[in-house]
Amino acid sequence: MDWASLLITAVKIIGFTFMVIMPLVAYSTYAERRVAAIIQDRVGPNRVGLPLTLFGARKDLNFFGLVQPLADGLKGLFKEDLTPAHVRKSFYWLAPAFTVVPAFITLCVIPFGSEITVFGRNVQLVIADIGVGPLFIFAIASLSVYGITLAGWSSNSKYPFFGGVRSCAQMISYEIALGLSIIPVLMVFGKLNLTDIVAHQAAHGWLLLPLWGDGLSLQNWLLLIPLGISFVVFTTSIFAETNRMPFDLPECETELVGGYHTEYSSMKFALFFMGEYAAMIVGSALIVTVFFGGWSLGFGLDHALLQNADGDWKWFAGFIHFGVFLAKTIAFILFFIWVRWTVPRFRYDQLMKLGWVVFFELALFNIFLAALIIAAPHLGAVKTIFIGVPTLLLVAAIMFFITLSAEGKSKVRPT
Amino acid sequence: MAVVKVKRPTLRWYEHLFLPSILKGLAITFRHAIRAVRGKTPGSAELASSGLGVTMQYPEQKWDDHLPEYYRGVPALVTDEQGRERCVSCQLCEFICPPRAITIIPGELTSQDPWAKVEKAPRDFDIDMIRCIYCGMCEEVCPEQAIFLRKDYAMTGTSREEMVNHKERLYEIGGVRKGLVNKWNELK
């Protein structure tokens, strides 16, 4: 690796992490508050702006409160950083870092755009173009549970501890559904490199919108069923993984005061929030990348507008793709926020049941369904009908039986 | 009250999926958001809000027109039709004032004064608005109906001294009140 490519990587790391995702984190807190406000018929933060009246002007500029995140950040930095006497200090200090760092590390495999040409060099708009994209994200993202669990444990008080334990159990339950639900997707693509996955979708249609390229064959129509199930399970599991609202039991304000970050103050508290929002952004970026064609413009426009005759990207394609990717991701972040202020929090047993009894079985069955649909053309009609379909039905029956028996066993009903 | 036994509704198969009701909920919140953004939040007209939600945006919009008659704002002194101070500095308000916000230094009217019959008028009348609790006791106790709680509520100042209303300021806020009792009024 020469110096130039090292430099380019460094620029990409700093650019994407600190110039793109950090502001996005800041402004998703702002978006959260504003969207929550308009959903609840309120106004939300709309005042913080340039205080020109301090300098003798007649009016302040408020820019719809867009300076609010900066003010919040400043507040976080200048507040007293209190470490209670009863905490286990080393872990207490480590925990916020453990939540933030994995969220930012997972960024490195997300393809932000196709490629741009800098000084005659094609630069891919992804920090690390590795061949195990989604697996890497799952592996690293699940590390963030350590942060939350450690925070809960090291705080050495009741409610944070509950929060930490809940987070731990929740992560384990939904990690499985998350991993299983993406397998049909990977079977369709046949590869794990996220850049290739997006390029494939640009050429052959987005996974949930295969309207161009190969078009809608019968197989593609049928595949939409398992992929739709995958999408629902995957999205819901991402909600659970990022501790977002319907599943935000670890920080559950109504039951656990503040959950795992009850004992935290100032910037350490802010770090937990940054980690949470960064995880949300990575989650939406992953959903967009896998199911909605990542940076691709879609509808065959990539090929028509942005490619040369010999299949190379034009010089400005990267920028447009980057914009498209950001737009899609922001749309998904808004969706996350919208869901948060719509769906009430699950009860803990409901959460566990949904994870283990519903999603686990559904995702497992889904794999068989997708496999059968993909394999059908190769197997031929006879084998498909006489071996494939009965196997699928058997799997469905087993899964249904497991679900029912789990349903029957829960004699203890919470009152 | 009769005991009403609430039975959990039995869900149909599609209701077990939760998805339809989640979508319904999303539609409701979306409708609210859209109406707020368009400035047409229901109830914004009655609550005199900006339309972006039902919240009134305070310094730009004020509730002043909707304040009730009995609103208790800043206490102030009033003069009567003859331009005479109504206050006879009996000091009842000073004595009744629970937080002791009122300080009166009584003064005498000279015999040359056309209203000499009244004998007394306040030489100094201070209301410390940092102390005032807007209880309205002074208004209630005043035999001359000389002190009233007005509808002003935005009392601000940057120092303690600024927050003390002196006599001139009190008369300025209070203005003229017509009618009502004029115990010693010769014209009556």
Residue A168 tokens read as 């731990």
Residues in chain A: 415
Full DSSP string of A91-127: HHHHHHHHHHHHHHHGGGGS--SSEEEETTEEEESSS
Per-residue pLDDT for B150 more than 50? yes
Using alpha carbons only, how large is chain A's radius of gyration in Å? Answer: 23
Q: What is the mean pLDDT of residues B116-125?
A: 82
| CB nearest to B29's CB, from A42, A232, A338 | A338
Q: Where in chain B is the domain with CATH 3.30.70.3270?
A: 67-174
Full DSSP string of B13-27: HHHHT-HHHHHHHHH
Predicted confidence at residue A392, as pLDDT, reads 80
Decide: residue A244, CB within 10 A, 0-12 exposed, 13-18 middle, 19+ buried: buried
Per-residue pLDDT for B184 more than 80? no
Distances (CA, A) of A359 to A130, A138, A175, A355, B17: 29, 17, 11, 5, 12
In chain A, residues with a C-beta closer than 8 Å to the C-beta of B37 are 38
Predicted confidence at residue A408, as pLDDT, reads 60
In chain A, residues with a C-beta closer than 8 Å to the C-beta of B26 are 338-339, 342
Q: What is the mean pLDDT of chain A?
A: 82
Per-residue pLDDT for A37 more than 70? yes
Q: What is the mean pLDDT of residues A149-155?
A: 87
Domain B67-174 -> CATH class: alpha beta
Judged by CB atoms closer than 8 Å, whether chains meet at A338 and B26 is answered as yes
Judged by CB atoms closer than 8 Å, whether chains meet at B50 and A39 is answered as no
Predicted confidence at residue B181, as pLDDT, reads 62
Per-residue pLDDT for A219 more than 80? no
Rounded to 10°, the helix A360-379/A389-409 angle is: 170
Give the C-alpha separation, A98 to A155, whole Å.
15
In chain B, residues with a C-beta closer than 8 Å to the C-beta of A343 are 22, 25
Residue of A149, A96, A143, A187 whose CA lies nearest to A282:
A143
Question: How far does B165 lie from chain A, in Å, by closest CA?
Answer: 27
Give the C-alpha separation, B44 to B50, whole Å.
7
In chain A, residues with a C-beta closer than 8 Å to the C-beta of B47 are none
ipTM of the complex: 0.78
Judged by CB atoms closer than 8 Å, whether chains meet at B53 and A39 is answered as no
Full DSSP string of A174-205: HHHHHHHHTHHHHHHH----HHHHHHHHHHH-
How confident is the model over A358-380, as pLDDT tens digits? Answer: 888 888 888 888 888 888 778 77
Q: pLDDT tier at B188 (50, 70, 90 boundaries)? A: very low
Full DSSP string of A320-360: HHHHHHHHHHHHHHHHHHHHHTTSPPPPHHHHHHIIIIIIH
How confident is the model over A221-239, as pLDDT tens digits? Answer: 778 888 888 998 899 888 8
Predicted confidence at residue A6, as pLDDT, reads 83
Judged by CB atoms closer than 8 Å, whether chains meet at B52 and A38 is answered as yes
Predicted confidence at residue B98, as pLDDT, reads 92
Per-residue pLDDT for A411 more than 60? no
Give the C-alpha separation, A260 to A159, whole Å.
7
B→A contacts (Cβ < 8 Å), by residue, are: 19, 22, 25-26, 28-30, 32-33, 36-37, 41-43, 50, 52-55, 57
Count other C-beta atoms under 10 Å from residue B66's C-beta. 10
Judged by CB atoms closer than 8 Å, whether chains meet at A232 and B32 is answered as no
Per-residue pLDDT for A398 more than 60? yes
Residue that wins the pLDDT comparison between A296 and B182:
A296
How confident is the model over A333-362, as pLDDT tens digits? Answer: 999 999 888 888 888 888 888 888 888 888
Q: Are the C-beta atoms of residues A150 and A165 closer than 8 Å to each other? A: no
What is residue B185's DSSP assignment?
Answer: -
Q: HSE, CB side, 13 Å, CA atoms: give it for residue B92.
A: 15
How confident is the model over B76-90, as pLDDT tens digits? Answer: 888 877 777 888 888
Residue of A94, A93, A313 whose CA lies nearest to A203:
A313
How confident is the model over B1-25, as pLDDT tens digits? Answer: 789 999 888 878 777 777 888 889 9
Annotated domain spans of chain A: 85-345, 349-415
Per-residue pLDDT for A118 more than 80? no
In chain A, residues with a C-beta closer than 8 Å to the C-beta of B42 are 41
